[in-house]
Structure 1
């Protein structure tokens, strides 16, 4: 009789532990689903943050902030084989390339940043005919630069003029 009561107690105890295991498994499943749901929400928040950053950059570009305009050009031209550049970006790239060709070309060549090529930068300035005097193109460029200045003190500058090098060339004419 004692063994029957012990075995019935063991059966009851075993059933109790099975119920407890079942409850814990269902609780674990609910917690796992909650974690998955939280991960999805976190992913959406990260995506929303990127979108918000994009909108912020776009707003700053409307206010003509140079860094924002540059980033907008980077995004627009990222997949293009033949990129087109804003005047602001081209102007800054001319200055950057002039300051350090050894830095500009590797950055452009290794695609760290999408930057205008040398030909685009030289086309921005145009060609010179070699005539004496002050060219209309140079005068127009200086006017555009002066109009784009925001602070009155930034209009104070010095104009440096470089001489043109003329290369000697001998040509033999048989006639």
Structure 2
């Protein structure tokens, strides 16, 4: 997430103030960079998974990438979950940085508090319906979690675009 924060907080004033970029172009370029970074890190995770499997788990039987949380040795699942995690982390970090650039530290604290209220309200609403989460996540766990993370990334990028349109350059 820190890299996502730095993507906005450190480069936005320079790009807009010194290089003459528009906010729209800056946001689109940063969003594209986030997707490319996510794809690169996903490919790197896949390459390390294949290397680990080819070497018999690093010649010692020690598992690092061939674990349940990353798809239990399935290359497609590893690529999908690592892409989704990276995309969500970078996007949320960039969204928080945009809020910081617009409203400062108090805006970030208010945003986090508001986000917690929304999450807790959504959880109370879903749990009040009696939905069985264990059944929902029992099949295709990696795909469902990845989809949820990608939705979070899209929402965070939307928030960053809405906030970025009014960010002052001198902050």
Please tell me the TM-score bracket, short chain as reference.
under 0.3
- Answer with 1 or 2: which has the greater Rg: 1
More helix by share: 2
Q: TM-score, normalised by structure 2?
A: 0.25
Which one has more relative contact order, counting CA pairs under 8 Å at least 6 apart? 2
